[in-house]
Amino acid sequence: MSQGEPLVVAAGLRKTYPIFGGTLVKRRTGTVHAVDDVSFVIRRGETLGLVGESGCGKSTTGRLVMRLIEPDAGSIRFDRVELTTLGRRRRNEGRRRLQLMFQDPSSAFNPRMRVGRIVSEPMRLAGATGKAQRDRVAELLPLVGLAAEQAERFPHQFSGGQRQRIGIARALALRPELIVCDEPVAALDVSVQAQVVNLLQDLQDQFGLTYLFISHDLRVVRHISDRVAVMYLGRIVELAPTAELYGSPQHPYTRMLLDAVPKTRPGGARAGSRAAGEASLAPAAGRQGCLFAPRCPHVMPRCREEVPAFREAAPGHVAACHLLG
């Protein structure tokens, strides 16, 4: 799909959480940097994939964009409007243009509500009439591959893939421009994942949607994304067009992630490799230098002292690594 002007511009986003310790008296012992100086642009009509291991800050970034949590610092502009300074009324009005899809939609569903009520809930909160809600539900369910009469059923009567389709229908209820997809297919079988991803792409083409697609699964991200940002311990370390990133990764962490994608060897054996160690949520002392240095096979003395700046490896392809200097 063709992309237009920037729809989302995030600059210098930071979000920290305190660590408390002690047995009898709890006291603050440190800080977790969930998101640390993160900047990116999402152009209208494109899909930006955000990938990384669990605990790297992907979901926190998505919630910052949605204004479900407040940043400690930084700017989020949506269609040229600064979201971080909006008052409550304008913020609520603006949220109609941004919607969120969860990994497990059933956790966000009221099990006592019928599907029609679940899908129309955003419209009810926005003040739509009962007839407008019913008409919109009858329009949305067939769009996501469900029958209109299934509006009378309850969530437990559907499979996992069908519940995700219900979640998509609810996300579309207010005709949003941006959907933040937070691990939307992680809980699904591979065949069902493909169906849901294809549905998201079809809906994007039909309605001109823009996606921030958050996932740890690089195979899924490759299929749906126009560009990919790689995140490690709260920082983006590489960003590039999808084909460029997968064909010529520049950051050692990106190469590690790609090497870890299971590959089938002759005879059916699956292989993958990983760099030594694993990501840790513990705060790095002073957050100095490259945070990937303890795991990097190419670490140099300067890596432990200097935070690497972004350097352009190719047009539109940047990586924060001293190897490019």
**pLDDT of 2 above 80:** no
pLDDT of residue 266: 44
- Amino acid identity at 287: R
**pTM recorded for the entire structure:** 0.90
Reported as a single tens digit per residue, the pLDDT across 67-86 is: 999 999 999 999 999 998 88
Q: Cα–Cα distance between 223 and 226 in angstroms, integer?
A: 9
SS3 state of residue 109:
coil
What pLDDT shows up at residue 310? 96
CA atoms within 13 A on the CB side of 86: 20
pLDDT tens-digit profile of 83-134?
988 877 777 777 789 999 988 777 778 899 999 999 999 999 889 999 999 9
pLDDT(285) > 90:
no
How much is the pLDDT for 56? 93
For the chain, the first-to-last Cα distance in angstroms comes to 34
Residue 292 CA, chain-centre distance (Å), reads 21
Question: Whose CA is closest to 60, among 293, 196, 236?
Answer: 236
Question: Using one digit for the tens of pLDDT, what is the confidence trace for 157-166?
Answer: 999 999 999 9
Residue range 135-148: mean pLDDT, rounded? 97
CA-CA distances (angstroms) from residue 158 to 97, 140, 165, 182? 28, 17, 10, 21
Can you tell me the mean pLDDT for 205-222? 96
- pLDDT tens-digit map of 15-59: 999 888 877 777 887 888 999 999 999 999 999 999 999 999 999
Total Cβ atoms within 10 A of residue 41: 16
Domains with residue ranges and CATH for the chain:
6-97+176-324 (3.40.50.300), 108-174 (no CATH)
Q: Which two tokens stand for residue 258?
A: 């790609």
